[in-house]
Amino acid sequence: MVPNGWKHSTIADISNTTMGFAFKSSDFVKDGVPLIRMGNLYQNQLQLDRNPVFLPHHYISEYEKFVLRSGDLVMSMTGTMGKRDYGFTVQIPNHSPECLLNQRVMKFDANRNSCKEFLLNLLKSEYVLDRLYSFPGGTKQANLSAKQVGDIPILLPPLPEQRKIAKILSTWDKAIATTERLIAVSKQQKKALMQQLLTGKKRLLNPETGKAFEGDWDRHSLSDLVYVDKKSLGKKTPDDFEFKYISLSDVATGNIGANLEIHKYATAPSRARRVLQNGDILLSTVRPNLKGFAKISEKHADCIASTGFSVLTPKKRVSADYIYQYIFSSHVTGQIDSLVVGSNYPAINSSDVAGLKIYCPTYEEQQKIASVLTAADKEIELLQAKLAHLKDEKKALMQQLLTGKRRVKVEHTEAA
């Protein structure tokens, strides 16, 4: 059913498109005009510093058709079949430099039938994305065409209503952008705090003395402080032993996925061997530069982890939270990077993990440092939860406003 005043239309009816040009890599220069490629359109954000490529300045005049300026809309047109890693639409931010449009990235210009901000929200909507991802492609690669995108049917409100819808959604966009900035600032603040606290440059207050902690820190191998891979499932494990399995793909920077697979020992993956307990720390030894590290809470204490992790079990008078925070520090990640440099398959082994060097204060100071850094993590987590909530709210609102299920009131002055 078409909402009153709306009409059937297509994306081609409300926009003009330009597909990018196949610039030659031999023309790339060290500094010049940024070339926007698919990789720069990541998760609906423009990231010019992501594998940047430049072309000579005179290309701006020679390839005027492919010049991008602040406010332009662009979409990535190629990705992986079965994955939602393409179809990202980005509006070039204000104050961005002039850029050039590469092949497999498409520019949209709103025509007289549409409002640019309405078009942007439409292209980002689940309605459009679901149709983009439903188009057939190759066995591995998905390639969208301008015709496929242009032929997507839509319901189009009058221009005044388009503008009002876009204005309402922009309120959520501003709240989302503000929260994202707060998260970025909080992460930088925590990074600076780690640099100070985990090196002893800043000493916290000892609650027992009322003065700052004192004394030199000792340098240890990690194996002095924790047991590495203390316990694993053996051949005598009953075949019907059932458990939740934490694979490498389930862990990302402090988080363990919500949908863990359940296995029985007899049919479980051969890597499902590491026995866990509350307070253990997982450190991914496969591509450790991705920081697939996590601390085990009571929720995951009965799980079995992949042998692609080293499991760190703190010894007596060693704070699990301190060790957990320390493995994210540049001191440890720098050691790991030096171990995998030049390797085609970046990985370390349990011996490498055991040999990592850590500076360690007294148990009491460890606890105090860990509590401050954990509080910073919780502040970031609260902001991330707020961000997720705002995005969900906007998504639900888009579903209502862009389909006419929920109508907006347009004042006469806005309609004029």
pLDDT tens digits for range 54-101: 999 999 999 999 999 999 999 999 999 888 999 999 999 999 999 999
Distance separating alpha carbons of residues 238 and 179, to the nearest angstrom: 49
Percent of the chain past pLDDT 90, that is, above it, reads 92
With b meaning 16 or more CB within 10 Å and e meaning fewer, what string describes 134-168?
eeebeeeebebebeebbebebebbebbbbbbbbeb
**Can you give the residue ranges of every domain in the chain?**
7-156, 157-208+363-416, 218-360
Q: Is the pLDDT of residue 327 over 80?
A: yes
Neighbours of 185 (CB within 10 A): 11
The predicted pLDDT at position 132 comes to 94
Greater pLDDT, 11 or 345:
11
The pLDDT score that the predictor gives to residue 413 is: 54
Q: Which of 101, 68, 92, 88 is nearest to 144 (CA)?
A: 88
**Angle ∠(262,266,270) on CA atoms, nearest 5:** 80
Nearest in space to 402 (alpha carbons), one of 90, 14, 72: 14
The pLDDT-based confidence of 121 (bands split at 50, 70, 90) is: very high
What is the C-alpha to C-alpha distance for residues 80 and 261, in angstroms, rounded to an integer?
24
Residue 329 CB neighbours (<10 A): 19
pLDDT in tens, 348-377: 999 999 999 999 999 999 999 999 999 999
Asked if residues 46 and 76 have their Cβ atoms less than 8 Å apart, the reply is: no
Beta strands 99-101 and 67-68, pairing class? antiparallel
Judge whether residue 406 has pLDDT over 60: yes
Place of tokens 């010019």: 48
Note the pLDDT tens digit of each residue in 159-194.
Answer: 999 999 999 999 999 999 999 999 999 999 999 999
Read off the pTM.
0.86
Q: What's 218-360's CATH class?
A: alpha beta
On the 0-12 / 13-18 / 19+ scale of CB atoms within 10 A, 234 is exposed
Indicate whether 407 pLDDT > 80: yes
> Which sign does the torsion angle of CA 10, 15, 16, 21 carry?
negative
Architecture per CATH, domain 7-156, reads as Alpha-Beta Complex (3.90)
What pLDDT score was predicted for residue 138? 67
What is the distance between the alpha carbons of residues 8 and 329, in angstroms, rounded to a whole number? Answer: 56
What's the whole-number average pLDDT of the chain? 95
Q: Largest alpha-carbon pair distance within the chain?
A: 80
Q: Find where tokens 């940024």 sit.
A: 34
Count Cβ atoms within 10 A of the Cβ of residue 323 and give its class: 0-12 exposed, 13-18 middle, 19 or more buried.
Answer: buried
Specify whether the CB–CB gap between 31 and 54 falls below 8 A.
yes
Q: Which residues pair with 219 in a beta bridge?
A: 359
Q: Please answer whether residues 173 and 45 qualify as being in contact, where contact means their C-beta atoms are separated by less than 8 angstroms.
A: no
Q: What was the pLDDT predicted at 343?
A: 78
Cα dihedral 296→298→300→303 (10° resolution) = 110
> How high is the pLDDT of residue 137?
74
Q: Please, what is the Cα angle at 318 between 315 and 319, to 5 degrees?
A: 125
* 218-360 has the same fold as 157-208+363-416: no
pLDDT at 344: 81
Q: What is the pLDDT of residues 178-237, one digit of tens each?
A: 999 999 999 999 999 999 999 999 999 999 999 999 999 999 999 999 999 999 999 999
Fold of 157-208+363-416: Helix Hairpins (1.10.287)
